[in-house]
Chain A
Amino acid sequence: MSDSPGLATLLRHHGIGRRDFLTFCAGLASALALPPVLAPKLAHALEAARRPSVIWLSFQECTGCTESLTRADQPSLEQIILSMVSLDYHHTLQAASGAAAEAARRQAMADNHGRYLVMADGSIPLGDPGYCTIGGMSSADLLAQTVAGAAAVIAVGSCAAFGGLAAAEPNPTGAVPISRLVTGKPVVNIPGCPPLPLAMTGVIAHFLAFGRLPELDSLGRPRVFYGETIHDRCPRRAFYDQGLFAKSFDDEGARQGWCLFQLGCKGPTTRNACATVKWNGGTSFPIGSGHPCLGCSQPSFWDAGGFYRPLSRPAGLGPGMAAAAVAAGAALGAVAASKRPSERQPVTLDDLETKS
């Protein structure tokens, strides 16, 4: 860890009192689904924690994940947590550039070998490395070099976790997720476009407090934030159960706040905590604002059949193909019926006796 003061000192420096800190720890323990008894232990561990070095690598991405973290307009839980890390390399946020920036990355790697965290957003172009190079290195080489001495890797956003937009059909760059290229190191996926800031900072807090990553699901996502579907906690769920659906964005159902399933909501197949944590300081989330969930924290959500197409509705059959099928069937049936009677095989008494 960096030779810097602990969190308690940092918080005091930012004018945040101990009461606020303990309130924050209780909230964090709740967010991480820890038993209440662990809240004081979490506070103690975070107070004693030293700032870990974090190297943030950006590959084929849109910077939306960084925007998600940094756009809070007042001191937030996320900012408090972020003040705990020593962000030694980040294209968007660091002042240095060019050779000086790369030198800072190598210095941080050397000083904190085996202990630093790598946070990565964006996918890696394996098909043609030329689509994304940094400091004269391909994305894959930069990732491999940086991850070699890391304690853990956190893939931030759906592009890093699953390939995201760059990997959508026809995937011109041959984009792959971070986990595809990292071996021998723990990798946490925090998908979302962008992911919830609390999910990002919660994982860091867990790592700082307990020295290990939280429990993950089969897609490498922390269960505490991705354990339930949006549908499970959706405020419009009761309307789904009653069969009350908005059919368009300006009909009576939409005005009444009915379920958005038939407008393409992917809530039932999307695991994320948006419906409980919400966005903009707990103000709302897409479904709360009248828009269907796009399913952005699921793999291949760009290619999941259309944002406004209901989950259960098949792609459909064109009228031409349907008519051709009926015509071909009718023709085949007529041909079969026009066979001469001698070619048919009537059921005989022997057949019946054999069967019985």
Chain B
Amino acid sequence: MSLLLWAKGPGFALAAVLFLLGTAMRLAEILRLGRGTDLARPRGAAGGQALRTVFSRFLPAPGLFARSPVVHAGGYVFHIGLLVVVIGYGPHLAVLGIGGRGLPAGLIDGVTLLTMAAMTALLAARLRDPVKRLISGPGDYGAWGLVFLPLATGFLLVNRVLLPFEPLLALHLLSVEVMLALLPFTKLVHAFTFVLARGYAGAIAGRKGAHS
């Protein structure tokens, strides 16, 4: 019980502070840096293209899906599945302070398994591809583990596998807290910065009169 109480109390507070502080720091740094001044005469609207690009990049570039279907399909399943599990499960809604019943536990179970399977396929694809393997470092594999562990411990917790409820709940909370605390300082920060990255890219292209 002491581990669970620590995870629910000081552990969560520490993780939340690091998450908020780190995320604010990263966003402020990026926004403060901004972009270099472009002295050329604008040939199009930057703002509209910036907004459009934030959403258009949710779709794969033409032809890329067919060239690497596993990576694209896996990516969609993993990201959408993660979203469904995080905000669709009743107890998660309670933790987030959102009302509603949530989705049935059986459905969440299935989505969790599918999400973990997609993540495993993506990891295998990364390891099998010599180019991806070359450009992958500890940060990439670490980020994969930080996301996979909460999913795995959550699945074990709901299904009461390997360990009793209490230590599994403590492990699940701790794995989420580690992910939260490290999110701003790892590649997982793209959960927030993707908006800025796409927006800047869209704005630059839009100013040049190109569609992004």
Which residues in A have some Cβ–Cβ distance to B below 8 Å? 229, 231, 240-245, 247, 261-262, 268-269, 298-300, 303-305, 310-317, 321-322, 325-334, 336-338, 356
Q: B1-21 CB contact bits vs A (8 Å, 1 = yes)?
A: 110110111001100110011
Interface residue? B144 (CB, 8 A): no
Interface residue? B169 (CB, 8 A): yes
Interface residue? B95 (CB, 8 A): yes
* CB <8 Å contact, B95 and A312: yes
* CB <8 Å contact, A269 and B101: no
Q: Once A and B bind, how many residue pairs between them come within 8 Å at the CB atom?
A: 128
* CB <8 Å contact, A329 and B25: yes
Q: Which of A231, A241, A337 is the one whose CB lies under 8 Å from B28? A: A337
Q: Which of B17, B28, B95 is the one whose CB lies under 8 Å from A314? A: B95
Sample of 16 more A-B contacts, CB < 8 Å, known A244-B101, A315-B9, A337-B29: A229-B165, A241-B105, A243-B90, A243-B105, A245-B101, A268-B166, A304-B1, A315-B12, A317-B12, A321-B17, A325-B17, A325-B20, A330-B27, A334-B29, A334-B32, A336-B29
* CB <8 Å contact, A321 and B13: yes
Q: Which residues of A contact B165 (CB under 8 A)?
A: 229, 231, 268-269
Interface residue? B106 (CB, 8 A): yes
Q: How many residues of B contact A (CB 8 A)?
A: 43
* CB <8 Å contact, A299 and B16: no
Q: Which residues of B contact A327 (CB under 8 A)?
A: 24
Show 22 A/B contacts (Cβ-Cβ < 8 Å), sorted by A.
A240-B105, A241-B105, A241-B106, A242-B104, A242-B105, A243-B103, A245-B94, A261-B91, A269-B1, A269-B4, A312-B91, A312-B94, A313-B8, A315-B9, A316-B12, A317-B12, A317-B13, A322-B20, A326-B20, A329-B23, A330-B24, A330-B28
* CB <8 Å contact, A314 and B5: no
Interface residue? B179 (CB, 8 A): no
